[in-house]
Structure 1
Amino acid sequence: GGEGVAARFAITIAPLEQGFALSKPAITVLTERELFGERVRSERRRRRGQARDPDTIIRDLTELSIGSPIVHVDHGVGRYQGLESMELGGMEGEFLIIEYAKGDKLYVPVAQLGLVSRYSGTAPELAPLHSLGGDAWERARRKAAEKVRDVAAELLAIYAQREARGGESMPVDRQMVEEFGASFPFEETPDQEQAIEAVLGDLAAPRAMDRVICGDVGFGKTEVALRAAFAAATAGKQVAVLVPTTLLAQQHYRNFADRFADWPVKVDVLSRFRSAKDVNAALKKLEAGEIDVIVGTHKLLQPDIKFRNLGLVIVDEEQRFGVRQKEQLKKLRAEVDLLTMTATPIPRTLNMAMSGLRDLSLITTPPAHRMAVRTFVAAWDPATIREAFQRELSRGGQVYFLHNEVESIERTARELQELIPEARIGIAHGQMPERELEQVMADFHRQRFNVLVCTTIIETGIDIPTANTIIINRADRFGLAQLHQLRGRVGRSHHRAYAYLVVPDRKAMTPDAEKRLEALASLEELGAGFTLATHDLEIRGAGELLGDEQSGQIQEIGFGLYTELLDRAVRALKSGKVPDFDLSSEHETEVELHLPALIPDDYLPDVHARLTLYKRIASARSDEHLRDLQVEMIDRFGLLPEPTKNLFALATLKLMATPLGIRKLDFGPNGGRILFREKPEVDPLLIIKLIQSLPRVYKLEGQDKLKVVLDLPGATERIRSAQEVLIMLGARRPA
């Protein structure tokens, strides 16, 4: 308004996102967004269609090289020896060759690749090698099955306890959470939205929440936690945020305090940076219910800490807590709502098997403006190193120099100082007194120096947005998981970040180390942590969810089979049945059409791509899956050749026949035969009717064989005729 106008309220237009209050002149500005909690959003177009689960791409057999360990459900762990085309009964077919102990070879027809999976469970060279026809594999499988049953039972017990206890539902004010969400400066990724939705649903549900949010470093797990904490606090509950280190506690506290500044939510922190007096005051307030959100380390779990009405516990990086603390968390799990965040990839397959026990939300899409970390593998060369430092320091950034030997860390720092005189260098390692270490990290955070020479102590640490170059010395000595985690320390903002993996010359490196580094350099895209097909990651993730003694079982039989067993056990126990662990080929119908059924190599020359597709076709669980696969293949490689169409037809027939209890379906030029198992799922009356209606076509031979006499010269007739018989046999008896 103009001078001297005594207007109390006025509306004006200005490009402001946030309001402010001044005391002189006395004026308060509120923006539209603060009043309505909305803002204009730009929807990024989502890539549809291409979205294949990264896990399956890698988990299928792409990674196989000759000699890789591979598991066959019936015969155990052998070594992959390639794909080979052979003629059998005048028909061309492709076979996967597995070599077992004593040089025995097993030829697996590609239509049965559903029985074969990549072995992951320990380093490939340590994988067990079974012998064909021996009973060692049978024993290992049986033992694992028993263990799996215990795990499933324990999980179900926790689950049942949660269901029975109920727990109370929180009155979540969606409107208010929406408004709070609008102050998030970025656009949520689809995964984030789903995770937030799931968490709010869990809070409102009348049972205790137990959800794990699993996402790569910097993919916005904290935002999910913030929304959950906000929803709980505004519903009148207290929230405890549990973090592994004091530094992280400080950082989370700042994050929470900043985001809740405009809302009537009180946030406090318990950490060693506070005086005893402050801590005691905070504890009193907690008990009186005057603090809504408290951030702290495992101190928060101590029995002398009293809450007025604790409703939600948020745990960051669960795996960094010790066993005792985990036990305390387990106790909480059936009582309060529990939200856990972790960056250790939990494989999707395991996620499926655990569905409904601990609910998992995976965040695999990177935020909009994040750029992938450029990764270089280079030998130690002063010129390169100097250039790497200068590139970062000249843009005002900071550098991590990772040197994982405490004895020589001081010397390394001195050498670097000579090489780059303009650097201000700090040192951090795990053998320093903790206070000192925290001081160094805090100074680095405040940019008092711009190079930190450190050990892997920074692996899970605080966010330093200006540190965008990491140089990892002797990178060949690290596991993939660790390298990936370390690389995730940089590139947390919208600046391009660089990672240099410094290695000795090739001769001094083990072939395995070389492979790891190549994998890391090639997987530059964000979210790669989820697709790194590394056994160490998978096994770590599984060990964390299920407990460590399970890791041993996983090594015995391989990860893929383990999850399959767990999945069966959980499903069976949930529906009150005894788990059926017979995974063998006995279950699947063997289908033979006497037609070439393969993906010709002139249609798809790349052997790995063929393998992967064979595996996906053989493992498809529904017609819909198979249709999607056909569409995808036509899209990627062109119209399907005849033999490939036959391969799909075989898969469709197998899906139809297996639930009917048919052991083998064999159709050729003069008709075919159907062999039943001992107790087929087919109404005997139907078979009698068939035979009575067309006695010349259908004949019963012995107890378990139906013969079909028809002239079926070509593929179309054969496939159609087999489908018709299966449809007739599948007509359910009236209930």
Structure 2
Amino acid sequence: MSSKPLNLKQKPSVSPLHPDLPRTAGGRLVWSRLYGSSRGLAIAQAAANHHAPVLVVTPDARSARQLEDEIRFYASPNAEFCVTTFPDWECLPYDVLSPHADIISQRLLVLSQLASWNKGVVLASVPTLMHRLPPPQYVAQYSFVLKPQDPLKIEQFREDLVRSGYHSVSQVMEPGEFAVRGGLIDLFPMGSDTPFRIDLFGDEIESMQEFDPETQRSGRKLDGIRLLPAREFPLTPDACQFFRQRFRARFEGDPQKVSLYRDISRGIIPAGVEYYLPLFFPETATFFDYLPAQGACIIDANTADAARAFLREAEERFLERRHDRTRPILAPHELFLAEQELNGALERHSRVVLLPFKADEERHSQTPETVSDSLVRFDTLVPPALPVDYKAQAPYAALFEHLRTYRGRTLLAAEAPGRRETLRALLQDNGFAPVDVDHWQDFLLSGVRLGLTVAGLDRGLLLPAPLIALITEPQLYGERVAQRRRRARVRRDPEGVIRNLAELRLGDPVVHEDHGVGRYLGLQILDVGDGSTEFLTLEYAGGDKLYIPVVALHLITRYTGTDPEHAPLHRLGGDAWEKAKRRARQKAYDVAAELLEVYAIRAARKGHVFAPRDSEYAAFAEEFRFEETPDQARAIDEVMTDMESEKLMDRLVCGDVGFGKTEVAMRAVFLAVHDQKQVALLVPTTLLAQQHFQNFGDRFAELPVRIELLSRFRSKAQQAEILAGLANGTVDLVVGTHRLLQGDVCFKNLGLVIIDEEHRFGVRQKERLKKLRREVDVLTLTATPIPRTLNMALAGLRDISIIATAPEERLSIKTVISERNNALIREACLREIRRGGQVYYLHNEVRTIERAARQLEELVPEAEIRVAHGQLPERELERVMMDFYHQRFNVLVCSTIIESGIDVPTANTMVMARADKFGLAQLHQLRGRVGRSHHRAYAYLLVPPRSAMTETARKRLEAIELLEDLGAGFTLASHDLEIRGAGELLGEAQSGEIDEVGFTLYSELLSRAVKSLERGEDLAQADLVHSGTEINMHAPALLPDDYLPDVHMRLILYKRIANAPTEIALQELREEIIDRFGLLPDPAKLLFTVTELKIKATPLGIRKIDAGPLGARIEFHRQPNVDPTVIIRLLQTAPQTYRLQGPAQLRILGDYPDAATRVDAVARLLEELQINQG
């Protein structure tokens, strides 16, 4: 909802309405007879000629969004102009939840900029304007600008940030956070889309740059940044003291019994504190204190009713809660404006009242306060209803009659490019010649008689002078055909998703390759005679402790077996671990051989080499209406590269629900059909098939591509026609359910199969898919990888692309786990309905679902409720789901039929009864049905008392509650493995081996087995049980705690350093750490140097390097990758330096007093072995 520059400078020759605003403060006009979307046109034109902001007041948030769309459409692309919305908190009065940081950020941005606007439109709903706000001097006092060369004292700046409400963290990710590390300050200001990194030289700002919150890498340099306060109230010691005084004066009883009071006293920000805002200030303000005096107001005539309804709701909620001693609340008049206060504030500005109908004029003129109003009657007419009647012989008769008889010009607005092409074909087939126009002003200037444009408007327009009709699709079809969807801002590093699977928590079981399963007890800095070094502390059976130096962290993996809490800890020095490892090694080798056989068959069969991307592909890609996110672009490129090679593609695209996997599939479809190949798109449900059919039809509308839908919704005659088209090659893309896998489906030239949510298909269908994989390119789309898929991807047996970028302004899902509570259910539904949204109420027992719907109707009489479940007749189910999509009712009581359902961006609350009965992947998939727009989404998981739930169910719910983060679907599969074990990991019983060694190490063994088999080694030759070289330089090699105090962050970086696969990756990581934390101290430099030696030594088959003051000892694995003649030559040419000690050990002799000389000696030897590597 950020402000976007629009160009809105009207040319008198093409301004159909010429609206005026009152010229004096307090002046008032009444605009009447603005029918359809003409009010958006009038506001756009009036605001363009007014040299101050124009506030548009609507009854609710939904009408504000509708009007914002219209104003943007009627804007002329000639001059800079701002249109934005001042957002609502999206909380109910006296809510115990706080607004999302992104919403607060947008509100503070509007408040801070409004006074400086020259012209523009800001829209706000009545309930939003009725909330009291902090005074303007608060926003000004806690806002400041920073520039290079400005003086800045870190401690003072830190205090200033905390007083402004910013939160100190170890890693900055969201607005309102900051981190200080030496001479670097990371900061994510409110009102900004990106965080900044400030580099100090002494007490002066040397430079400032943007940085990516996911990769933490710096970007472009900046000349200055503006900081806004992080909250709508201060948190300074004085402000907290003031709050406590006001709280004690306002409420009776002991304030120490109120947790909110105690939290504020300790400087903690409790949820729902926004409803105590007046206690932070001597006086509050209103939105009108921020609006410049010359700012005008345009007010919907229904705002009075909306104000009364809001105050009535606030009063009711106050009466329900006022006796709660544990959370005393302020009276409504302290938090919200009275109706008279709102009217008084509006009256101080020049204003326009919008009357919707002619009949309102008479009623309006009879009220005493409006006698002197100037009434402006516009000449707009009611847009004609031109309904399409599919039952009639000529369904479009009304539209065609209008086009033939109307004397003026007509502009048809389609909701999407595909819809435009459908309308174009319809018109051309009936003798009309529409002309494409880009926007409203383009149409006015063009003079064309019949224009076609793309605009998602609900309402049309009819002007008598000039004679112009704007006809929208809802006028034809009586519904919004396409849902508005926003995309693509928050970036997320897909490698980081995989990388963080290795993060450890205190008490987690871990696996050491040489010693077995122990428990992680944290990091500890010890001095063992060689200076301080940091160690991982592990506890084994019998309480034995093992200290692992951080340079050997590559030997540690997180244990993910059937039950991590009761992991089988091994005894140090026992032989049980070696036996377990041997069994797992044998099993891994057998499984790898079986898998490689399957994939070898694919590799031996050459696939079709699709023609490379050309200018037509580039034009198709250019038509994608949203900005590609980096990982989406990467996924597209990987898929295209696969298809352009002769290797049969078998790629998995993993992306959270609604993150843009479909566009990847569309690019693949284009490449295939452009090369005369057919494509099959396989989906698990008929509803999803219907939506994909519409989406692909829309995207390919302007191309000569025949797309068909094959499902049970098609008649036998239609199915026969489609099957014939597939057989003779006239159908390019077929979308269908498992009906596509039946024996009567034959393709003439099938080149690509796309599978959506493969885990929803049955065993027989999967067998058919396995056969398909041997014949054609296969692209699989999934939001939650099943364990088998995840493992094969990580083991390198299957290619994977991760899309983990959240749509623009899409907020994470707030998940609430609670025992069933009628008050909570009512509040959840009302919160969503009030902001114009829709609710899923999930009740997965079809037998009692109608009764559940009746109970919900009694609980929330304000809701319009319908029921959907799998036992409904298919036509009826489709009708209910489509009605929900088109917002004809607002609460859907449903079963899990919605799991792979249609995309409804306006549905942003889900209430899930008996959530404990669902699997984790299913919980994540269901929860992903909400949170698909710019609103904060809520998921309420209703469960029985804790004692009545199984331990597994409790763990599932804890995992889903933690995953508020967007793009967490990939991580989810790892949690899924931890909870239900990996017994069916590869389709056979092997949970014993996995439980013994842990899933992570088992996967590593499997990966090594695959590589070993690819090299042609048998089990006796294969060395599956070693990873990297262990190196000890007997000198401190660590990230010192005074360089990086955060223990968890150190652990993550240690793991990343230890796992760096190449010297280039290690160098990039070194640059990142210097970028984030400052220049490396000597122990950190040595840590990187040792890791670099490890990367060089590992492929040579060196197990261990131990270098001290008197020399070094090099231990080789049983079959090192070194030419023996090289060793012999070294022994002969430098016997005083090198000596062989046993068959697998080489000594470096000499005096090496410090780490630098030891590193140099070892590096020289490795260089010799590498140069002569056999």
TM-score range, shorter chain: 0.7 to 0.9
Aligned counterpart, 2:551:
111
Choose the corresponding residue for 1:158, options 591, 594, 598. Answer: 598
**What is the CA distance between 1:77 and its match in structure 2?**
2.5
Choose the corresponding residue for 1:559, options 976, 999, 1008. Answer: 999
Q: Compared with structure 1, are the counterparts of its residues 30 and 231 closer, same or farther at alpha carbon in structure 2 (3 Å cutoff)?
A: farther
Amino acid at match of 2:1008: R
* Matched pairs, number: 708
Greater relative contact order (CA < 8 Å, ≥ 6 in sequence): 1
Aligned counterpart, 1:240:
680
Q: Compared with structure 1, are the counterparts of its residues 436 and 72 closer, same or farther at alpha carbon in structure 2 (3 Å cutoff)?
A: farther
Q: Compared with structure 1, are the counterparts of its residues 588 and 420 closer, same or farther at alpha carbon in structure 2 (3 Å cutoff)?
A: closer
Q: Compared with structure 1, are the counterparts of its residues 683 and 267 closer, same or farther at alpha carbon in structure 2 (3 Å cutoff)?
A: closer
Amino acid at match of 1:111: V
Q: Compared with structure 1, are the counterparts of its residues 200 and 634 closer, same or farther at alpha carbon in structure 2 (3 Å cutoff)?
A: closer
1:349–1:563 Cα contact (<8 Å) kept: no
Q: Compared with structure 1, are the counterparts of its residues 154 and 539 closer, same or farther at alpha carbon in structure 2 (3 Å cutoff)?
A: farther
Amino acid at match of 1:328: R
Distance 1:224 1:55 in 2: 20
Aligned counterpart, 1:10:
none
Distance 2:1142 2:643 in 1: 60
Q: Compared with structure 1, are the counterparts of its residues 396 and 252 closer, same or farther at alpha carbon in structure 2 (3 Å cutoff)?
A: same
Deviations 1:567-586 (A, max 9, x none): 2222233333336653445x
The answer to whether the aligner puts 1:316 opposite 2:756 as a matched pair is: yes
Q: Compared with structure 1, are the counterparts of its residues 394 and 128 closer, same or farther at alpha carbon in structure 2 (3 Å cutoff)?
A: same
**What is the CA distance between 1:178 and its match in structure 2?**
2.9
Distance 1:625 1:349 in 2: 24
2:685–2:900 Cα contact (<8 Å) kept: no
Amino acid at match of 1:60: A
Aligned counterpart, 2:497:
55
Structure 1: gaps spanning 5 or more residues: 1-13, 34-42
Deviations 1:199-224 (A, max 9, x none): 33433434533222222111122222
Matches within 5 A, 1:9-48: 21=424, 22=427, 26-30=432-436
**What is the CA distance between 1:725 and its match in structure 2?**
3.7
Q: Once structures 1 and 2 are overlaid, which stretch shifts more, 78-87 or 486-495?
A: 78-87
**What is the CA distance between 1:296 and its match in structure 2?**
1.7
Q: Compared with structure 1, are the counterparts of its residues 581 and 691 closer, same or farther at alpha carbon in structure 2 (3 Å cutoff)?
A: closer
Q: Compared with structure 1, are the counterparts of its residues 184 and 707 closer, same or farther at alpha carbon in structure 2 (3 Å cutoff)?
A: closer
Distance 1:384 1:544 in 2: 39
CA root-mean-square deviation: 3.9
The answer to whether the aligner puts 1:653 opposite 2:1093 as a matched pair is: yes
Distance 1:322 1:242 in 2: 13
1:188–1:367 Cα contact (<8 Å) kept: no
Aligned counterpart, 1:9:
none
Q: Which has the larger radius of gyration?
A: 2
Q: Compared with structure 1, are the counterparts of its residues 604 and 170 closer, same or farther at alpha carbon in structure 2 (3 Å cutoff)?
A: closer
Distance 1:206 1:679 in 2: 36
**What is the CA distance between 1:518 and its match in structure 2?**
5.7
Structure 2: gaps spanning 5 or more residues: 1-411, 440-486
SS in 1 for 2:522: strand
Distance 1:337 1:541 in 2: 31
**What is the CA distance between 1:611 and its match in structure 2?**
2.5
Q: Compared with structure 1, are the counterparts of its residues 726 and 285 closer, same or farther at alpha carbon in structure 2 (3 Å cutoff)?
A: closer
1:374–1:499 Cα contact (<8 Å) kept: yes
SS in 1 for 2:651: strand
Choose the corresponding residue for 2:1158, options 707, 718, 732. Answer: 718
1:353–1:570 Cα contact (<8 Å) kept: no
Amino acid at match of 1:633: I
Aligned counterpart, 1:65:
506
**What is the CA distance between 1:323 and its match in structure 2?**
1.0
Q: Compared with structure 1, are the counterparts of its residues 572 and 94 closer, same or farther at alpha carbon in structure 2 (3 Å cutoff)?
A: same
Deviations 1:603-648 (A, max 9, x none): 3333332322332333333333333333333333333333333333
Q: Name the TM-score, length of structure 1 as normaliser.
A: 0.84
1:344–1:541 Cα contact (<8 Å) kept: no
Amino acid at match of 2:670: F
Aligned counterpart, 1:400:
840
1:211–1:359 Cα contact (<8 Å) kept: yes
The answer to whether the aligner puts 1:229 opposite 2:635 as a matched pair is: no
Choose the corresponding residue for 2:535, options 95, 104, 115. Answer: 95
Q: Name the TM-score, length of structure 2 as normaliser.
A: 0.55
Choose the corresponding residue for 2:801, options 361, 366, 377. Answer: 361
Distance 1:247 1:687 in 2: 68
2:488–2:807 Cα contact (<8 Å) kept: no
SS in 2 for 1:278: helix
Distance 2:1168 2:884 in 1: 74
Q: Compared with structure 1, are the counterparts of its residues 52 and 718 closer, same or farther at alpha carbon in structure 2 (3 Å cutoff)?
A: farther
Distance 1:337 1:507 in 2: 50
Distance 1:337 1:620 in 2: 32
1:187–1:368 Cα contact (<8 Å) kept: no
**What is the CA distance between 1:114 and its match in structure 2?**
1.2
Matches within 5 A, 1:696-715: 696-698=1136-1138, 706-715=1146-1155
1:173–1:234 Cα contact (<8 Å) kept: no
Distance 2:951 2:876 in 1: 39
Aligned counterpart, 1:615:
1055
Amino acid at match of 1:273: F
Deviations 1:237-289 (A, max 9, x none): 33222211122222222222233333222222222222223223333333333
**What is the CA distance between 1:527 and its match in structure 2?**
0.8
Distance 2:945 2:1131 in 1: 75
Choose the corresponding residue for 2:925, options 479, 482, 485. Answer: 485
Amino acid at match of 2:621: G
Distance 2:746 2:879 in 1: 30
Distance 2:682 2:1113 in 1: 64
Aligned counterpart, 2:1046:
606
Amino acid at match of 1:656: K
Aligned counterpart, 1:287:
727
Q: Once structures 1 and 2 are overlaid, which stretch shifts more, 108-117 or 616-625?
A: 616-625
The answer to whether the aligner puts 1:177 opposite 2:583 as a matched pair is: no
2:494–2:802 Cα contact (<8 Å) kept: no
Distance 2:944 2:1143 in 1: 70
Distance 1:691 1:405 in 2: 78
Percent identity between matched residues is 57
Deviations 1:421-455 (A, max 9, x none): 12122233456666665554344334443211233
Distance 2:782 2:979 in 1: 15
Amino acid at match of 1:722: V
Deviations 1:271-319 (A, max 9, x none): 2222223223333333333322222211211112233333322221111
The answer to whether the aligner puts 1:254 opposite 2:694 as a matched pair is: yes
Aligned counterpart, 1:7:
none
Q: Compared with structure 1, are the counterparts of its residues 460 and 554 closer, same or farther at alpha carbon in structure 2 (3 Å cutoff)?
A: farther
SS in 2 for 1:27: coil
Amino acid at match of 1:467: A
Distance 1:322 1:533 in 2: 20
2:494–2:804 Cα contact (<8 Å) kept: no
1:73–1:583 Cα contact (<8 Å) kept: no
Aligned counterpart, 2:336:
none
Aligned counterpart, 1:337:
777
The answer to whether the aligner puts 1:631 opposite 2:1089 as a matched pair is: no
Aligned counterpart, 2:69:
none
Q: Compared with structure 1, are the counterparts of its residues 641 and 272 closer, same or farther at alpha carbon in structure 2 (3 Å cutoff)?
A: same
Distance 1:85 1:510 in 2: 40
1:319–1:544 Cα contact (<8 Å) kept: no
